[in-house]
Amino acid sequence: MERQFLAVPAMAGTPLAGVVGAMLGAHAQILSAAEMSVGVRADGVTRADVRTALWEDRSLVKTFGPRGTLHLLPTAELPVWTAALTAIPTGPSVFAPAVRLTAAQADEVVAAIGDALDGARLTVDELSEEVVRRTGPWAGDLVMPAFQGMWPRWRQVMHRAGQRGALCLGPNRGRKATYTRPPHFTPLDTDETAARAQGIARLVHRYLTAYGPATPAHFAKWAAAPRGWAGELFASLAASGKIEEVDFLGGPAWVVAGDTEFPQEPVRGVRLLPYFDAYGIAVQPREVLFPGAAYRRALARGQAGNHPVLLVDGVVAGVWHQKRQGRRTTVTVEPLGRLTAAAERELAERVERIGEVLEATPELVVGTVTAGPHA
């Protein structure tokens, strides 16, 4: 909590890229949730400040990050992220053989996406036309099962284009998302294999700094990586002296070498974290972060992130939901136990902060949250 500004928020004026970097990215499938994740960690920051960093300063990018999901990432860290994410094994394709792209076709599509988006902002339909024009009709075959129809073949590697630095999101054009190319950057190494090795080592270092002690299985879950591969990676980094083993809850776990000073007392107080906040997603083991009733109420079949969570003294102690109407938002908080008078006062302060981030006037209601997961 200290290392990602949940114990004490970042001071006013702290670059937002530093706040996002400390989290290892802000989950941004729902952009308003990412804005809140950043806002609750930085004094005075509102959703407008996050959007300025994204669309104007471009110190942040919205792109496909860990687990192939949309994240806000610091632009300056793209060399590490692109090298690391492309080093993680993807496993077998989930698509039928007749639908899949060959490795050569996938590379061709990614190159075409990067070329099409260089200096341009395109909707997905416009991008599709450009990809097909640069590659061939095969890329546009409607063979991918989608929500209410079929998508063109090339879209199965769209997330890979983001992870390779060929694509990121731009500001919406009306109600439609747009895509562009992130600012050009210098890779970690001219040799792709060397760059990937450096990138994944740096990512593990960053992950353990933020969320250690952790096991290879914890890292594999966070990165959507094969467990066996993660185990070999940790063993290699341990053998080279970059990480070290510690005893954690009666079993082995790893930290960055020498990073063995821990706070003697937990962080006290109340926090409100939005959907898919990095703390709730990454902190393991999950049964410690979500004790007792919280495991049943705040998780969806063991998956974190589907409910915004109330933290008390660093662990999940309830859920919450906000519903906006014009300039006002109603924040309903459902504690799973009795709050002390001090906790109730702090909760009211945290709700006021939620309103500031959202640029809305908040109303606190303590009661049952009726909204379902990811509502």
Do residue 346 and residue 308 come from a single domain? Answer: yes
Task: With CA atoms as reference, report the closest residue to 207 among 233, 239, 241.
Answer: 233
Determine how many CB atoms are found less than 10 A away from the CB of residue 267. Answer: 14
C-alpha–C-alpha distance, residues 239 and 247, integer Å: 18
Task: Please indicate, yes or no, if residue 140 is contained in any of the structural domains.
Answer: no
Can you say whether residue 25 is alpha, beta or left, with left for phi > 0 and alpha for psi between -120 and 50 degrees?
A: left
**Token couple for 365:** 């209601």
107-130 residue pLDDT tens: 999 999 999 999 999 999 999 999
| Per-residue model confidence (pLDDT) at position 375 | 66
Specify whether 227 is located in the same domain as 300: no
Closest CA to 357 of 113, 16, 124, 57: 16
In a domain, 319, yes or no: yes
Backbone angles phi, psi at 181, to 5 degrees: -105, 135
Q: What is the pLDDT of residue 143?
A: 93
> How does DSSP assign 312-323, residue by residue?
ETTEEEEEEEEE
Q: Are residues 274 and 362 in the same domain?
A: yes
Last residue of a domain, one of 228, 256, 284: 256
183 within domain boundaries: no
Identify whether residues 200 and 276 lie together within a single domain.
Answer: no
pLDDT for 92 equals: 80
If we measure between CA atoms, which residue out of 344, 287, 281 comes closest to residue 312?
344
* Domain ranges, residue 293: 270-366
Asked if residue 142 belongs to a domain, the reply is no
Does residue 177 sit within a domain? Answer: no
Q: Give CA–CA dist 19/148, Å, rounded.
A: 38
pLDDT value, residue 301: 82
pLDDT score for 305: 92
In the chain, the number of structural domains is 2
Give yes or no: residues 343 and 304 share one domain: yes
Q: State the CATH number of the domain containing residue 209.
A: 1.10.10.10
Q: Are residues 215 and 243 in the same domain?
A: yes
Q: What contacts 190, CB < 8 A, 6 or more positions away?
A: none
What is the pTM (predicted TM-score) of this model? 0.95
- 272's enclosing H/E stretch is strand 270-273
Listed residue (102, 159, 152, 157) closest to 132, CA to CA: 152
pLDDT for res 327: 93
Are 298 and 371 in contact by the 8 Å Cβ rule? The answer is no
Q: How far is CA 167 from CA 76, 116, 178, 196, 278, in A?
A: 15, 10, 10, 19, 23
Q: Write down the number of H helices and E strands in the chain.
A: 14, 14
Same domain, residue pair 304 and 361: yes
Low-confidence ranges of the chain (pLDDT < 50): none
